[in-house]
Structure 1
Amino acid sequence: MQGHRGPTQVSAAKDYYSRSRREIRSLLPSRASRILEVGPGAGFTLLWLKSIYPDATTFGVELNQALEADLREHADVAIIGDIDELISRVGSKFDLILLLDVLEHVPDPTRTLQAITRKLLMDGGRVIVSVPNIAHLSVTVPLLFQRRFAYTDSGILDRTHLRFFVEDTAVKLFNDSNLVVKDGLITGLEGPKSMMLDRLTLGLLTHHLAKQYIMAGELTGGPVAQPRINWKKSRLIS
């Protein structure tokens, strides 16, 4: 049972659910006809995707029932409930599936990703996943110098996170689900201080400045041979 939220927490939650994840633009396929977002919040990313793929049918599967009205307004099909229980209700397969800031909240991210992609991703379709980077300086510096960390209401140490990732484990999540990472994006380097620090260290701190890894991938027919990933740096503040 959740405790009472103050005005600041409620405002932050509203902003979180109202985000449009436009930083994924470079990872999108050239065409999409059926789009599924798991954990779409109020559906603003699906609304934005509709402007890119006007003929596509958009589906949102959201656990938070309080967001149902907003989601129905912004998606063609809104389904409220847990994705594991509702896979059969979304119909045929999709050529684009989004799981943005979702898998760190589930007990077994690999099992969840496998179940969704095996049953719902078309051959040649694309899945885009974002996960937080626990190696970010905001976490590692207090650990190194103060021997402490503190859970927060949002961000990398969100108290609702059940799993944590670094680059290797983020990629392993994909590969263990028979997915190969085709394109990768890191966020967190959009601000002037982060960009300057990244330049001054000649990129040596890039993966300590990364707040998220966003990966776009496809199913493979067998064992995954993961090529080296050329991580792009997001310059769009989301």
Structure 2
Amino acid sequence: MLCSGTGVIRWVTDTRELNKSYIGVRSDILDVIPARARKFLDVGCSVGALGAELVAVNPEAEVYGIELDPDMARLAMEKLHKVYVANMDDFSLAAEFAPDTFDCVVLADILEHLKNPWQVVVEAAEITAAEGFVIACIPNVRHLDTVLNLVFRGVWPYRNRGIHDRTHLRFFTRKNIVELFSVEGIEIEAINTNYRLLERPSRINRWAKYFALPGLKHFLAFQYIIVARKQ
């Protein structure tokens, strides 16, 4: 909910006033979601774009969402079956949902914002059904942009989006991510990588994968997409 200067409460009614970095459809996430999944939980669902795509592909899909921002949640409510407006630092997945409830739990660009992402991954595994999946997307703090700014410029590049989003509380490299998902009940099946030469969106980033050679690729990794299966 937003307050105007006149004290009148108003809601954002479309996506034009929202951060575009967090409201678009994520084709890289859609590509790794198993076709057989029917019941989803999208943690940090934003405006519900991912869930809407899942339902468009499979009308039988049932998508729940959790979103901190009430404006985004309100838009998501128009697309998803149920949306919780909640701060994940105060919300327990295990307390709200029974074990084995969902075929797929999505944690896209959310874990780095939380005080205790380790507990959230544990609880996500608990509420995922056998042979179901926990899918996450996490930025790589080891990217070249971090090295250039921290080592050579002597600054931490606080930004409103991306790896150095000023709302991030936790930071991960690939090794940290593997440790994060080393919990009982799930096993990582795949880790996909989105490469960027520049941290910011740019047409030049389309060439990044060609420079992702051994010894260099971890410095060009912008995000890692984790696909973990419930045992």
Q: Where does residue 217 of structure 1 map in the other structure? A: 228
Q: What is the one-letter code of the residue matched to 1:53?
A: N
Superposition RMSD in Å: 2.6
Comparing 157-166 with 88-97, greater Cα deviation is found at 88-97
Given that residues 194 and 209 in structure 1 are in contact (C-alpha distance below 8 angstroms), is that contact kept between their aligned partners in structure 2?
Answer: no
How far apart are the structure 2 equivalents of 1:131 and 1:28? 16
**Structure 1 position 28, deviation (Å):** 1.4
Provide structure 1 residue ranges, at least 5 long, that are not aligned to the other structure. 5-9, 221-238
Given that residues 138 and 224 in structure 2 are in contact (C-alpha distance below 8 angstroms), is that contact kept between their aligned partners in structure 1?
Answer: yes
- The DSSP-based 3-state class of the residue aligned with 1:186 is strand
**Structure 1 position 117, deviation (Å):** 1.8
Change (3 A) 1:200 1:28: closer
Q: Where does residue 50 of structure 2 map in the other structure? A: 45
Indicate the percent of aligned positions where both proteins have the same amino acid: 27
114, 118, 124: which one aligns with 1:116: 124
How far apart are the structure 2 equivalents of 1:130 and 1:53? 23
Q: Where does residue 207 of structure 1 map in the other structure? A: 218
**Structure 1 position 203, deviation (Å):** 4.4
Q: TM-score, normalised by structure 1?
A: 0.79
Provide structure 2 residue ranges, at least 5 long, that are not aligned to the other structure. 5-14
Aligned ranges 1:156-175 → 2 under 5 Å:
156-175=163-182
Given that residues 149 and 157 in structure 2 are in contact (C-alpha distance below 8 angstroms), is that contact kept between their aligned partners in structure 1?
Answer: no
Given that residues 105 and 134 in structure 2 are in contact (C-alpha distance below 8 angstroms), is that contact kept between their aligned partners in structure 1?
Answer: yes
Q: Where does residue 22 of structure 1 map in the other structure? A: 27
Q: Where does residue 195 of structure 2 map in the other structure? A: 188
How far apart are the structure 2 equivalents of 1:195 and 1:130? 19
- The DSSP-based 3-state class of the residue aligned with 2:172 is coil
Q: What are the superposed Cα offsets for residues 151-199 of structure 1, whole Å, 9 maximum, x if unpaired?
A: 1111111111111001100111111354211122111349664454553
Given that residues 212 and 220 in structure 2 are in contact (C-alpha distance below 8 angstroms), is that contact kept between their aligned partners in structure 1?
Answer: no
Q: Where does residue 99 of structure 1 map in the other structure? A: 107
Q: TM-score, normalised by structure 2?
A: 0.81
- The DSSP-based 3-state class of the residue aligned with 1:58 is strand
**Structure 1 position 148, deviation (Å):** 2.2
Length, aligned pairs only: 212
- The DSSP-based 3-state class of the residue aligned with 1:156 is coil
Q: What are the superposed Cα offsets for residues 186-223 of structure 1, whole Å, 9 maximum, x if unpaired?
A: 11349664454553564432211111111010134xxx
How far apart are the structure 1 equivalents of 2:92 and 2:152? 44
